[in-house]
Amino acid sequence: MKKIVIFLLLVLSVCVFGKTEAQYKPYLNLKSEANRNPNVNSLVFSGQMEENGKVVSIYKKNGNLIYVYGIEGEKPEITIVGVSGKNLFSNYGKWAIGENYDKIKANFLVFKNSNYTYVLSFYDAKGKIANRYILEVYKRGECCPVFSKDLDNFTIYDEIFTGTANKDILNKIPEDSDESYVPQI
């Protein structure tokens, strides 16, 4: 009997304390998908790549942002828990695109791990042309991305760059001292 109680306590502790960020999966924030995503209430960004159909999702938990990338609803290929000022940064820039347009505002959300920098870029064209979201990956120390894909604007759910509920997300994240990914005018 004692062994059964110990075994049940062990199973219970693994179930309760064993949950990690692995529970976060890439999901779009579509109404049909919301029921499948157990973390839909903490989702602050999602978008799907135009070319390969993979999904980028960002969740907010305890002041951290959790970046996940991969096939929708599947185990993520990449998960990064972004801690503000440690491996999570922001940046911004403005530049003109052609002589007939005002300057475009760009915001960058930057996640870093030991070898790579993952940059989610938002280009706000102020209605002159379509806004643009890009995911780029840089190998540390290099200025050209090893991966650069546009996200499909029709799949975007954005509470980081354009949302009002979480407007302070970018303001609370320190700027990145490495600006190699910011386009130069």
DSSP letter for 154, please: G
The reported pLDDT for the residue numbered 183 is 56
User: In this predicted structure, what is the pLDDT of residue 92?
Assistant: 76
Radius of gyration of the chain measured on its C-alpha atoms: 19
Per-residue pLDDT tens over the stretch 143-182: 889 999 999 999 998 888 886 665 567 777 777 777 666 6
Secondary structure element (H or E) that encloses residue 171, with its range = helix 168-171
Kindly list the strands in the beta sheet with 55-61, ordered across the sheet, starting from the edge strand earlier in the chain. 78-82, 64-70, 55-61, 43-48, 157-158
| Inter-residue contact 145 to 137 (CB < 8 Å) | yes
State the residue for tokens 């972004």. 82
CA distance 114 to 167: 29
pLDDT in tens, 68-119: 999 888 899 999 999 988 888 887 776 655 565 566 778 889 999 989 999 9
Q: pTM of the predicted model, to two decimals?
A: 0.76
How far is Cα 43 from Cα 59, in angstroms, rounded to an integer?
A: 4
109 within 8 A of 160, measured Cβ to Cβ: yes
Other C-beta atoms lying within 10 Å of the C-beta of residue 17? 8
What dihedral do alpha carbons 54, 58, 59, 65 form, nearest 10°?
140
Of the two residues 133 and 183, the one the predictor is more confident about is 133
